[in-house]
Amino acid sequence: REVYTGMQEMSEVDENLIVVGFSQVGSESDWRNAHTQSVKEALTEENGFYLIFEDAQQKQENQIKAVRSFILQEVDYIVLAPIVETGWEAVLQEAKDAGIPVILDDRLADVDEELYTCWVGTNAEKEGEDAGLWLADYLEKEGRDEEEINIVTVQGTAGATAQIGRTDGFQKILKQHDNWKMLDRMDGDFTQAKGQEVMETLLAKYDDIDVVVCENDNMAFGAVDAIRAAGRTCGPDGDIIIISFDAVSAAFDAMIAGEINAVFECNPLHGPKLQEIITSLEAGKTVDKIQYMEEAYFDTTMDLESIRKERAY
Ligand code: AHR
């Protein structure tokens, strides 16, 4: 059996290996890199897999091309981390027609559920809600629960599950607080550079920001840089509260340094879960359609040094 490795070269693959084509979003964040590493470490030849990895560089058209190339190569499974939720119907129908099971990973696709076997990922709406509940609790403890609170959001890639869920979840809690005002929301595309740029714009536009909700850690790092460059302060001892999502190792450093107040975890270690799902499917078992990762949250009141030692990303 021969498959392409990368888009060009052909390789002979041992007949006994399960061939998996994985279309990854890109390498836009620390979270994404930890996610890629986890999948690569689980779907190894030693574990009985042959992984064809395609990095879409944050472009849906590249993901569609990758899925079509996986179909042509007659892979056994397709794992797709869809950059945005829309636009997948046609290519996933092609995979179905070719009889190749598709596992959606990390983000959802807005398609008929017959077009995919299952989905593994984060409950982004719950993360957003948890962030809002944390803020309400924090403000109450600070004696600021009656104050006017001005909030801005640095959003993830528009239309991505993590963006939609975190925005909607936080909005749900915001609506319960008449004194909270969302001044603005801007797209930071989940990258540090864009997060910094967007925060610079927001700081130039508003001089009364109390809270910044950053829809991932890398955008939070960029926002912190912008705030400090503007001569402002943030974190538990500063004048702007920073809330973030992911909980990568560098976010622990930022909380320990007093730059970020709280981080809501998005667990990137999907590799073992994908391995388990494919192994079950190979054994003819059915798997749960929706599979959430276990997640927690962290803030500066916790023993972050000890927690970080126990973590792998
Ligand atoms: O879909 C998960 C999100 O994508 C993570 O929060 C973010 O860091 C990544 O780029």
pLDDT tens-digit readout, 119-132 = 999 999 999 999 99
Task: Name the maximum alpha-carbon separation found in the chain.
Answer: 67
Ligand 1 atom with minimal separation from the 246 CA: 6
Distance 2 CA to ligand 1 centre (A): 33
CA-nearest residue, atom 3 of ligand 1: 162
Query: What span, in angstroms and rounded, lies between the C-alpha atoms of 267 and 289?
Result: 19
What pLDDT, on the 0 to 100 scale, is given for residue 8?
46
Asked whether residue 185 carries a pLDDT value surpassing 50, the answer given is yes
The complex's ipTM? 0.99
Query: What span, in angstroms and rounded, lies between the C-alpha atoms of 170 and 139?
Result: 15
Asked whether residue 3 carries a pLDDT value surpassing 90, the answer given is no
What pLDDT, on the 0 to 100 scale, is given for residue 4?
64
Range in 3-7, 102-106, 250-254 with the lowest mean pLDDT: 3-7
Residue of 167, 246, 292 best suited for mutating to test ligand 1, as the one with most atoms within 8 Å of CB: 246
Judged by DSSP in three states, 306 sits in helix
What pLDDT, on the 0 to 100 scale, is given for residue 198?
98
129: left (phi over 0), alpha (psi -120 to 50) or beta: alpha
Q: How many beta carbons lie within 10 A of that of residue 301, not counting itself?
A: 11
Ligand 1 atom with minimal separation from the 248 CA: 8
Asked whether residue 6 carries a pLDDT value surpassing 60, the answer given is no
What pLDDT, on the 0 to 100 scale, is given for residue 1?
66
Distance 35 CA to ligand 1 centre (A): 9
Select the more confidently predicted residue: 7 or 188: 188
- Pocket of ligand 1, beta carbon within 6 A: 28-29, 31-32, 106-107, 162, 190, 216, 245-246, 266
The type of residue at 288 is D
Residue of 23, 106, 155, 214 best suited for mutating to test ligand 1, as the one with most atoms within 8 Å of CB: 106
Asked whether residue 300 carries a pLDDT value surpassing 90, the answer given is yes
Q: Please check whether residue 160 is in contact with residue 85, taking contact to mean a CB–CB distance below 8 angstroms.
A: yes
Asked whether residue 2 carries a pLDDT value surpassing 90, the answer given is no
Query: What span, in angstroms and rounded, lies between the C-alpha atoms of 88 and 113?
Result: 12
Ligand 1 atom with minimal separation from the 266 CA: 6
Distance 31 CA to ligand 1 centre (A): 6
Q: How many beta carbons lie within 10 A of that of residue 10, not counting itself?
A: 10
CA-nearest residue, atom 2 of ligand 1: 162
CA-nearest residue, atom 6 of ligand 1: 216
Burial class (CB in 10 A: 0-12, 13-18, 19+), 107: buried
